[in-house]
A and B are shown apart, each in its own frame.
Chain A
Amino acid sequence: MPDASTVWIVIPALNEARTIGDVVAPLVARGWRVVVVDDGSRDATAVAARAAGGVVLRHALNLGQGASLRTGFAFVQRQRDAEIVVTYDADGQHQPDSVAALLDVLGRSGGDVALGSRFLDGSAGAHVPAARRALLRLATVFTRVTTGLHVTDAHNGLRAFTVPAVARLRLTHNRMAHASEMLSEIARLGLRYAEAPVTIRYTDYSMAKGQRPLDAIVILWDIFTAGLR
């Protein structure tokens, strides 16, 4: 496994002042570097993230999660000692142990990407609410058909990339469709990927902040109109 200080965790955040400190601190405590991209928050997200030990990049306007991740990636690529980029959610549903699992799989597989999955053996897939599970299954089938990637979980915010791999990604979606876009980029570039078992903690807070089934339609629209200029 690489030295912890060469691992950068990118966390897009919008109005997460309540939780962001508790999300950042345990990651920093393990020696990983954290960069929080404050996507135009109207609360004290930036202050709380910095106090917890994160670097904060601030968008003057709200651009969306996809754009926030790109800003974070660009920052990490400028860090001379950076070797691995991890994407992580700000709402508290991800666990530091899941980052360790990603790094472990990435290191052992020798690949370019490790993708988090809720539905592998060893992950606590049983805790995914039924309605969400059904929607995710649909998204996974869609991803398999459109990208040819054999993933078990299409919309998981936990991923680890090597820095050279992330530098090759061509990402354009500002909003939520970036999750599908990253997978199609992995397919296009022929990046070597492996899945790592992760556990998502569904709380009332994260469910309220998270995506609704209707968002799936918005994401599909984004994908289909992406080619237009």
Chain B
Amino acid sequence: MLRIQVLLIALLAALALYLFRLRTTPRDRLLYVLMVGVGVPLVLFPDASNVVAHAVGIGRGADLVFYLFIIFSLFHFATSASRIRQLERQLTQLVQDRALAVPDLPGTQGASRA
């Protein structure tokens, strides 16, 4: 086994372990199992990606992996952006509700700054 293969497999395993402890939803866990399940064989048998690439009309396996990486990244970017928007809306609602719940009326000391 090449040294780079040992390194890549170790990194994949570490990532999977970390994410598995961090993420508890079944959907996410399935995704990471899939990622490692595809990643480790590809590291061990790099030529395997060539076979798949040729089958779909791409010259090199590395290109196929790269294309998939781009698509996955874009998908991840889009879902993260929508999640941030959702969090922003929730945060706004929370801050506004709190402001309305305790108005400072003129001539008073006002509520202490929380």
Report A84-118 CB contacts with B as 1/0, cut-off 8 Å.
Answer: 00000000000000000000000000000000000
Complex Cα distance, B106 from A53, in Å, reads: 5
**Contact status of A60 and B100, CB under 8 A, knowing A46-B110, A228-B81:** no
Q: Is A178 an interface residue (CB 8 A)?
A: no
Which residues of the other chain, A, contact B55 by a CB distance below 8 angstroms?
none
Is there contact, CB below 8 Å, between B82 and A229? yes
Is there contact, CB below 8 Å, between A54 and B106? yes
Report B76-114 CB contacts with A as 1/0, cut-off 8 Å.
Answer: 000001100110100110011011101111111010011
**Contact status of A75 and B103, CB under 8 A, knowing A60-B95, A70-B96:** yes
A-B contact count, CB below 8 Å? 65
Is there contact, CB below 8 Å, between B104 and A60? no
Which residues of the other chain, B, contact A52 by a CB distance below 8 angstroms?
106
Interface set of A (CB-CB < 8 Å, partner B) = 28, 35, 37, 46-47, 50-61, 63, 67, 70-71, 74-75, 78, 174, 228-229
Is there contact, CB below 8 Å, between A56 and B91? no
List 16 interface pairs A-B (beta carbons < 8 Å), by A numbering.
A35-B103, A46-B104, A46-B110, A47-B110, A50-B108, A50-B110, A55-B103, A57-B103, A58-B99, A58-B102, A61-B95, A63-B91, A63-B92, A174-B88, A229-B82, A229-B86
Which residues of the other chain, A, contact B91 by a CB distance below 8 angstroms?
61, 63
Nearest 5 interchain pairs by C-beta: A56-B104, A57-B99, A71-B96, A53-B106, A59-B95
Is there contact, CB below 8 Å, between A63 and B106? no
Restricting to B17-58, which residues have a CB under 8 Å from any CB of A? none
Which residues of the other chain, B, contact A51 by a CB distance below 8 angstroms?
106
Complex Cα distance, B105 from A39, in Å, reads: 17
**Contact status of A37 and B104, CB under 8 A, knowing A47-B110, A50-B110, A228-B85:** no
Contact of B95 among A46, A63, A228 (CB under 8 A): A63
Residue of B nearest to A64 (CB): B92
Which residues of the other chain, A, contact B81 by a CB distance below 8 angstroms?
228
Complex Cα distance, B100 from A74, in Å, reads: 8
Which residues of the other chain, A, contact B113 by a CB distance below 8 angstroms?
58
Complex Cα distance, B106 from A28, in Å, reads: 11
Which residues of the other chain, A, contact B110 by a CB distance below 8 angstroms?
46-47, 50, 56
**Contact status of A57 and B95, CB under 8 A, knowing A50-B108, A229-B82:** no
Is there contact, CB below 8 Å, between A50 and B88? no
Residue of A nearest to B114 (CB): A60
A145 to chain B, nearest CB (A): 27
Residue of A nearest to B86 (CB): A229
Complex Cα distance, B114 from A63, in Å, reads: 17
Is there contact, CB below 8 Å, between A37 and B99? yes
Complex Cα distance, B105 from A53, in Å, reads: 8
The residue among A37, A60, A174 with the most chain B CB atoms within 10 A of its own CB is A60
A218 to chain B, nearest CB (A): 16
Which residues of the other chain, B, contact A46 by a CB distance below 8 angstroms?
104, 110
Given contacts A51-B106, A52-B106, 10 further A-B contacts (CB under 8 A): A37-B99, A50-B104, A57-B100, A58-B99, A63-B91, A63-B96, A71-B99, A228-B81, A229-B82, A229-B86
